[in-house]
Structure 1
Amino acid sequence: MAAAPAGGRQSAFALEKVPAGPLFVHVKLKAASSTGKDGALEVRLNGKSVFRGQVTLSSDYWRFKRYEVKARSLRAGANLLEIEGAPMPEVGEAFLSDQHFAPILDPKTDFEVELPAAVEPYPVPLTGPDKEPPFEIRGTKGWAWTPEQYLAEVPYLVKAKMNFLMNCYTSMFSSLDPFVNRWWEPLPEAKKNGFEEVVRACQANGIEFCFAMHPQLFSERPLTPGNAKDFEDLWKHYSWMQGLGVRWFSVSYDDIGVEGQDKARLGEAQAGLVNALLARLREKDPRAQLIFCPVYYMGCGDTPDARAYFGGLSRVLAKEVYVFWTGDAVVPPRITMRCASIYKNIVKRRIILWDNYPVNDRHPTLHLGPVTGRDTDLSRLIDGYMGNPLCPQSDINRIPLLTEADYSYNPEAYDPLRSIGQAILHLAESPAERQALKHLVELYPGSLLYGDSRTSFNPVLERFRWLMGEPASHRLAVEFIGRVEGVEKELAEAFPGRFASTREAVRGHIAEMKKALGAVK
Structure 2
Amino acid sequence: MTITLHSPRTGKQAAAPTPRHRVLWLVAACLVCSAAAASAQPKGERPLVDLKGTDLVGGAQTQFGSTQYGERHVNHVSAKPTGRFATMTAKRILAAVPDAPMFLHLLGCNNDVGGQCRIDLALNGTPLFAGPNGFPSAQFRWAKFSVPEGVLRAGANELRIENTETTGALGQPPWFMVARAMLGPRDLPLDRRPKIEQDFFVELPETELPLPTPLPAGREPGFALRGTKGWMWLPGQYLAELPTLAEHGGNFLMLCYGSMWNLEGYPEWPERNAWWLPLPEKKRQAYLELLRACQERGVGLCLSMNPNLSSSRPLDYGKADDLDALWQHYQWFQSKGMKWFSVCLDDISQGIDAAGQARVVNGILQRLRANDPEARLIFCPTLYWGDGSGSQAPYLETLATDLHPDVFLFWTGDAVVTPQVTREAAEAYRARCQHRLILWDNYPVNDGNPTLHLGPVTGRDPALGEVCYGYMSNPLHSESELNRMPLLTCLDYAFNPRDYDPARSIGQAILHVGETPEQRQVLRDLVELFPGMLVYGKGTGHNPVTERFDQMLDTPHSRYLASLYLRHAEDVAGRLATAFPDRFGAARATLDRTLGRMRQAFERQYPPAAR
TM-score category, normalised to shorter length: 0.7 to 0.9
Match of 1:119 in 2: 208
Correspondent of 2:252 among 154, 164, 173: 164
Match of 2:315 in 1: 223
SS of the aligned residue for 1:461 comes to: helix
Q: Distance in 2 between matches of 1:288 and 1:141?
A: 19
Match of 1:287 in 2: 374
CA gap of 1:391–1:291, structure 2 versus 1, over 3 A, is same
Equivalent residues of 2:27, 2:561 under 8 A apart: no
Q: Distance in 1 between matches of 2:9 and 2:210?
A: 25
Q: Distance in 2 between matches of 1:403 and 1:27?
A: 32
In the alignment, residue 235 of structure 1 is paired with which amino acid? W
1:139-159 C-alpha deviation (Å, 9 max, x unpaired): 000000000000111110112
Correspondent of 1:244 among 310, 330, 336: 336
Match of 1:421 in 2: 507
Correspondent of 2:584 among 499, 504, 507: 499
Question: Which stretch of the first structure deviates more once superposed, 65-74 or 405-414?
Answer: 65-74
Equivalent residues of 1:30, 1:59 under 8 A apart: no
1:275 has 2:362 as partner: yes
CA gap of 1:212–1:406, structure 2 versus 1, over 3 A, is same
CA gap of 1:207–1:29, structure 2 versus 1, over 3 A, is farther
Match of 1:490 in 2: 575
Shift of 1:134: 2.1
CA gap of 1:28–1:280, structure 2 versus 1, over 3 A, is farther
Question: Which ranges of structure 2 fall in alignment gaps of 5 or more residues?
Answer: 46-101, 107-128, 143-178, 185-191, 607-611
Correspondent of 1:386 among 457, 460, 472: 472
Match of 1:137 in 2: 225
Q: Distance in 1 between matches of 2:10 and 2:334?
A: 54
Correspondent of 1:361 among 414, 422, 447: 447
Q: Distance in 2 between matches of 1:62 and 1:32?
A: 19
Work out the number of aligned pairs and report it. 464
In the alignment, residue 499 of structure 1 is paired with which amino acid? F
Match of 2:417 in 1: 331
Structural RMSD (CA): 3.3
Equivalent residues of 1:101, 1:416 under 8 A apart: no
Equivalent residues of 1:274, 1:317 under 8 A apart: yes
Match of 1:211 in 2: 303
1:457 has 2:550 as partner: no
In the alignment, residue 210 of structure 2 is paired with which amino acid? P
Match of 2:85 in 1: none
Match of 1:190 in 2: 282
Match of 1:376 in 2: 462
1:405 has 2:491 as partner: yes
Q: Distance in 2 between matches of 1:241 and 1:26?
A: 61
Shift of 1:56: 9.6
Shift of 1:163: 0.2
Shift of 1:68: 3.5
Q: Distance in 1 between matches of 2:209 and 2:21?
A: 30
SS of the aligned residue for 1:383 comes to: strand
Equivalent residues of 1:464, 1:477 under 8 A apart: yes
Question: Which stretch of the first structure deviates more once superposed, 278-287 or 153-162?
Answer: 153-162
Equivalent residues of 1:30, 1:58 under 8 A apart: no
SS of the aligned residue for 2:377 comes to: strand
In the alignment, residue 214 of structure 1 is paired with which amino acid? N
CA gap of 1:332–1:444, structure 2 versus 1, over 3 A, is same
Q: Distance in 2 between matches of 1:404 and 1:450?
A: 18
Equivalent residues of 1:164, 1:210 under 8 A apart: yes
CA gap of 1:29–1:152, structure 2 versus 1, over 3 A, is farther
CA gap of 1:175–1:129, structure 2 versus 1, over 3 A, is closer
Match of 1:3 in 2: none
Shift of 1:36: 9.2
Equivalent residues of 2:27, 2:565 under 8 A apart: no
Shift of 1:288: 0.2
Match of 1:474 in 2: 559
In the alignment, residue 195 of structure 2 is paired with which amino acid? A
Q: Distance in 2 between matches of 1:282 and 1:425?
A: 44
Equivalent residues of 1:17, 1:75 under 8 A apart: no
CA gap of 1:16–1:207, structure 2 versus 1, over 3 A, is farther
Q: Distance in 1 between matches of 2:10 and 2:323?
A: 59
Equivalent residues of 2:104, 2:183 under 8 A apart: no
CA gap of 1:198–1:323, structure 2 versus 1, over 3 A, is same
Alignment of 1:501-520 (within 5 A): 501-520=586-605
Equivalent residues of 1:143, 1:391 under 8 A apart: yes
In the alignment, residue 342 of structure 2 is paired with which amino acid? S
Match of 1:61 in 2: 31
SS of the aligned residue for 1:302 comes to: coil
CA gap of 1:65–1:96, structure 2 versus 1, over 3 A, is farther
1:145-194 C-alpha deviation (Å, 9 max, x unpaired): 00000011111011211000000000001247998211001111121111
In the alignment, residue 165 of structure 1 is paired with which amino acid? L
Q: Distance in 1 between matches of 2:274 and 2:546?
A: 37
Equivalent residues of 1:370, 1:419 under 8 A apart: yes
Q: Distance in 2 between matches of 1:435 and 1:147?
A: 31
In the alignment, residue 541 of structure 2 is paired with which amino acid? S
Q: Distance in 1 between matches of 2:3 and 2:439?
A: 34
In the alignment, residue 599 of structure 2 is paired with which amino acid? K
Q: Distance in 2 between matches of 1:188 and 1:180?
A: 13
Correspondent of 1:254 among 346, 361, 366: 346
Structure 1 segments of 4 or more deviating over 4 A?
15-18, 25-39, 55-60, 62-66, 69-82, 93-101, 176-179
In the alignment, residue 331 of structure 1 is paired with which amino acid? V
Match of 2:273 in 1: 181
Alignment of 1:31-46 (within 5 A): 35=18
Q: Distance in 1 between matches of 2:470 and 2:229?
A: 13
Could you tell me the TM-score, scaled by structure 2's length? 0.71
Q: Distance in 2 between matches of 1:245 and 1:27?
A: 62
Q: Distance in 2 between matches of 1:134 and 1:215?
A: 33
1:207-228 C-alpha deviation (Å, 9 max, x unpaired): 0001110010000000011211
Which has the larger Rg? 2
Q: Distance in 2 between matches of 1:28 and 1:185?
A: 67
In the alignment, residue 372 of structure 1 is paired with which amino acid? T
Equivalent residues of 2:510, 2:520 under 8 A apart: yes
Q: Distance in 2 between matches of 1:411 and 1:347?
A: 25
Aligned-pair identity (%)? 44
Q: Distance in 1 between matches of 2:459 and 2:519?
A: 28
Question: Which ranges of structure 1 fall in alignment gaps of 5 or more residues?
Answer: 1-14, 19-24, 40-54, 83-92
